Amino acid sequence: MTTLAAFQDAFAGALLGGVPRDAAVARLAAQPGFAVYRNTVLKGGIDALQANFPSVARLVGGEWFRAAAAVFVRSELPAHPTLLDYGAGFPAFLRDFAPAAGLPYLADVARLDRMWNEAHVAADAKPLEPGRLAALDPQRMARTRLRPHPATRWRWFEAVPAYTLWSRSRAGEGEVGEVEWQGEGALLTRPFGEVRHATLDRVGVTFLDACARGAGVEEAAVAALAAGAPADLSALVRRLLEAGAFAALESIDDPEGSR
């Protein structure tokens, strides 16, 4: 007896153009309406990708994007009905997609589109008020860690000015234009319902990485300073707090005592 999972796998394979081995699926695939359904599913996936990766689509043009998206959809159908979340594997696909070999920035621009989507749909949380950290004495601050906001996303792009390219495209520019070709970092937050974004240097990315690992403020600061040129850490932390990058303070000695 064919299990439901096996039937679903065979059905998905037929949608992607494979020859169905399941007899019931083969009968369905032979129906004239199945081709219409297949085209509807593929178009839905392509439309969702174009909506979820607007910066990529604007940089390469609609025709190129939809051709690439069609290849991706045939390899990875949506896993659930919420198409807003579709395309988790699209940046990696673009990295290895031969026609994109001359566009070394494209996969990273796609990652930033994906980060924007993740920030947009992340759980709500009240951002940490900047004064809360400043009110701590040095001894307590050393035993405190900052918990990133659920909507905060950040990344360092080693060799590509991904943030500049992405933010220009996001703002409506379809041409790359003159760009200083160097690594960049990006910060995306959603403190009050609207996704905000800004550039972030390697020190800031390293600081947030350490906070996400559960490091205390002091340990995160040491890691950040080791990552690059001397920085004004006070100004960095203030900027991150004002951007809404954190949701709570936690005591290292009492993780449940967040505040």
Residue 7 lies in a domain: no
70 & 157 share domain: no
- The whole-number pLDDT of residue 38 equals 58
Give the residue, 35 or 152, on which the prediction is more confident.
152
Nearest CA to 106 out of 71, 61, 151 is that of: 61
Residue at 71 is within a domain: yes
Per residue in 41-58, pLDDT tens?
688 899 999 999 999 999
Is the pLDDT at 97 greater than 80, yes or no?
Answer: yes
Mean pLDDT of 203-212: 96
Are 49 and 92 within one domain? yes
Instruction: Over range 175-195, report the average pLDDT.
Output: 89
Helix (H, G, I), strand (E, B) or coil at 170: helix
pLDDT > 70 fraction of the chain, expressed in percent and rounded: 80
* Residue 175 covered by a domain: yes
| 149 shares a domain with 77 | no
For residues 73 and 128, membership in a common domain is answered with no
Residue 21 maps to a domain: no
Structure tokens at 65: 């994007």
Whether 98 and 111 share a structural domain: no
Task: Pick the range with the lowest mean pLDDT from 153-157, 180-184, 224-228, 243-247.
Answer: 224-228
Among the candidates 52, 81, 103, a domain finishes at 103
Predicted local distance difference test score (pLDDT) of residue 182: 93
- Note down the domain range covering 125: 104-259
How far is residue 70's CA from residue 167's CA, in Å, rounded to a whole number?
A: 25
Residue 3 placed within a domain: no
Number of structural domains (the chain) is 2
Domain boundary pick from 71, 103, 135: 103
Are the C-beta atoms of 166 and 58 separated by less than 8 Å?
no
**How much is the pLDDT for 36?**
46
Domain identity same for 96 and 204 = no
> Residues 72, 196: one domain?
no
How many C-beta atoms lie closer than 10 Å to residue 5's C-beta? 8
Residue 215 CB contacts under 8 Å (≥ 6 apart), including other chains: 145, 223
Residues 68 and 170 placed together within one structural domain of the fold: no
Per-residue pLDDT at 82 exceeds 70: yes
pTM: 0.85
- Give me the pLDDT at residue 165, please: 96
Q: Give the pLDDT band (50/70/90) at residue 137.
A: confident
Same domain for 193 and 233? yes
